[in-house]
Structure formats: C-alpha cells, structure tokens
Amino acid sequence: MKPAVLARLIKLVLCLKDIGAPDSGENACNNLERRDLTLPSGGSYHLFMPVSPIGVTVIAAHGVTVYGNNDVRILQFARALTACGVVCVLPDLHHIANGCFRTKDLDLIGELINAYQQSPTNHLGLIGFSYSGSYVLTAAANKEFADKVTSVTSFGACYSMAESFAVSETFKAVPETDLEWDKYIHFSVMGVHRFGREMGIPADTAAECETLLRDYCSNYSIEYKRQFFLSRLASYDPIGYFRMKVRQDALDELSPKGRLAGVTCKVSLIHGSNDHMIPASESEKIYAELKKAGLAACSRLLVTDLLGHVHPGQIRPFELLRFMKSLRLLIE
C-alpha cells in the first residue's frame, strides 16, 4: 500500500471513530459545503468539497432515517471523507428516509452518477448504508451506469429486500431477546410513521412515536423502547400493518439479487456480525453472487464485530486493520 494511501486511511478511521458523537462541525471549517443543490429532475443533494481534492468523488446514500441527508451521522461521514481529500455528494433520498421503498430514489442516484461521472483524472465511487447499500449495488449493475462507476462500498446491504421483509414476518409474537425487541419496535414505529393515520393511531401517540423514531438508535435504552411499545402501541399491531403495506413497494426493483453480473467495478462489502436489522448473511449472499459471476478478484467481504447496524462495536487491532483495508476503495 502506498504511504499516501495509508496516511489517508489512518486519518479517515480517526475521523470515523467520532461519528454519532455531538457534532462540533470541526471538520467543516476547512471544506466547502454547499447545501440543497438542485438537479434538473428537481431532486436535491449536498456537496462537500475538500481544499485539496485527490481525484475521487463519492456519492453516499443514507438509509432509513427521518433526517435524510441532514442526519448528523451522514454529515459527519461526508466531512471525514473531505478531510481526506474526497469530494462527497449526499443525495436527499426522500422516500427511503420515510421508510418507503420507491424507484425514484434509485433514479436520483443514477442522475447524480451522470452528473459526476468519472473522467481520466477523477474516479467515482458509490457508498450505501443499510437498504441504500442495495440501491448503490443495483445502480452499479445497471448497464447505463456500470462503466461510470469505479467502486462500490456498502455497509450492511440487503441482497433481496422482498425476501428480507418476508423473513421479518417470522418474528415471534412476543420477542425474547433485546435485539429481537429492538428490531420489532423499530419496524413498529416506522409503521406508525408511514401509516399511523390509516391505523387510527391517536395524534399524541403518533407524535411520541415521531420523537422516538428521530433518535431511535442514539438516545433511548431498549427498556424504554419496550415499555413505550407495550404501553402505547401493542394494541394496534403496527408491525403487522407495516409488513402488509411494504409488500406494495418496489422491493424487487431496488434489490441487487440476480443483477450483480452487470457490475464492472471493485466492490467492498462491510457488514456487522451482530447486525440485528439486516443480518450479515445478506452481504454473504451478495458476495456469493459476485463470485459466481467471476467477480471474486475485484470483490471483498468483511463481516466484523467492529459494527452493529449503526453503532460501533468493540475495537480490536487486527479487526481494525481489516476494516481499514475494506475502506481503501473510498480514498484510493
């Protein structure tokens, strides 16, 4: 590994360790941030420009978060990249931000690929978190975009969203472990967010659900979430309603399953071994299809306990080294 690449990787990891902490905006002062830029389609995005670009642009797609591309974690991630010389584009994926799975979000990613496509002096990478990891893989496999993308890095991607939601229907009537409860309650409050009025959820309860959902992964203990669900939502069965309605979304069209032979770039799959929202087996299936398509040489899979779904896990030196290698595509 070239010394310059190693130095950037170390700097990136040092910046990433503070993601999710209170935002000081420390890394913003040395970079140009342009918010709410508009594309011809009307879609919007943020643009983060480093002082000294290294010739790499990445489009980073956020996952299911009601804050969309203003989620403090995705902003901090963009600033970490720009601190290493990477131009970062953050699309506003309006639908997935609200727990909806629509192809318009994928169209926006495609429009940005065309707008920032690679040149001989600039590489274009895609990054996706959670279900948006599926989106960027699907985009990279599309023949319209395949030769414009030089790398894909996904964190906790889903192989088949339709199958994943079908599996969620096997949830126990009453969850047993804390991890089972956490996923169960998250799906429930997302159901209220999307369909609360249809379900007849009282306005004050719906408002409390919104407050919980906004910082679901950060500010609340599992015991608080469990008591909230049992006291306010259990009688409405919001998770059953959500699972029924989500089957009407474009789940197959947004999934990489069966499409990965169209990928022509390098791929790095990173998945938390303890991810209880989207299990690591999903990335393992993606990697298996890439290998079957003859793409093993340019693909990498890391299943690590450094990550959960969004939270960092226990830091171990050897595991950290593997993680750094998996991030290499972002800054090289």
Residues 106 and 241 in one domain: no
Residues 282 and 145 in one domain: yes
pTM reported for the whole predicted model: 0.91
Mean pLDDT computed over 191-206: 94
Residues 322 and 309 in one domain: yes
- Note the pLDDT tens digit of each residue in 261-272: 999 999 999 999
Q: How far apart are CA 164 and CA 183, in angstroms?
A: 13
Cβ–Cβ under 8 Å, residues 323 and 306: yes
Q: Where are the beta strands (DSSP E) in 265-309?
A: 266-272, 299-304
pLDDT band at 184 (very low <50, low <70, confident <90, very high): confident
Cβ–Cβ under 8 Å, residues 276 and 305: no
> Given 209, 226, 246, which residue is the final one in a domain?
246
Radius of gyration of the chain (CA): 19
Structural domain harbouring 51: 3-160+252-331
The CATH number of whichever domain residue 115 belongs to comes to 3.40.50.1820
Residues 45 and 81 in one domain: yes
> Given 212, 246, 280, which residue is the final one in a domain?
246
Residues 200 and 181 in one domain: yes
Cβ–Cβ under 8 Å, residues 73 and 310: yes
HEC per residue, 130-186: CHHHHHHHHHHHCCCCHHHCCEEEEECCCCCHHHHHHHHCCCCCCCCCHHHHHHHHH
Residues 70 and 214 in one domain: no
Residues 144 and 185 in one domain: no
Percentage, residues of the chain above pLDDT 70: 91
pLDDT band at 101 (very low <50, low <70, confident <90, very high): very high
What three-state secondary structure class fits 307? strand
Write b or e for each residue in 12-23: b if 16 or more Cβ atoms lie within 10 A of its Cβ, otherwise e: beebbeebeeee
Q: How far apart are CA 323 and CA 9, in angstroms?
A: 10
Mean pLDDT computed over 77-91: 95
Find the range with the poorest average confidence among 29-33, 299-303, 317-321: 317-321
Residues 123 and 270 in one domain: yes
- pLDDT attached to residue 168: 57
Q: How far apart are CA 152 and CA 138, in angstroms?
A: 10
Pairing of strands 266-272, 32-38: unpaired
Q: How far apart are CA 251 and CA 233, in angstroms?
A: 26
Residues 114 and 236 in one domain: no
Residues 31 and 92 in one domain: yes
Residues 119 and 178 in one domain: no
What three-state secondary structure class fits 161? helix
> Given 246, 281, 302, which residue is the final one in a domain?
246
* Enclosing H/E stretch for 294: none
Residues 265 and 146 in one domain: yes
Packing angle of the helix pair 238-246, 178-199 (nearest 10 deg) = 80
- Note the pLDDT tens digit of each residue in 208-220: 999 999 888 777 8
Sign for the pseudo-dihedral over CA of 54, 268, 134, 167:
negative
Q: How far apart are CA 271 and CA 307, in angstroms?
A: 7
pLDDT band at 173 (very low <50, low <70, confident <90, very high): low
Domain count, the chain: 2
- pLDDT attached to residue 170: 53
Pairing of strands 151-155, 123-129: parallel
Mean pLDDT computed over 101-123: 94
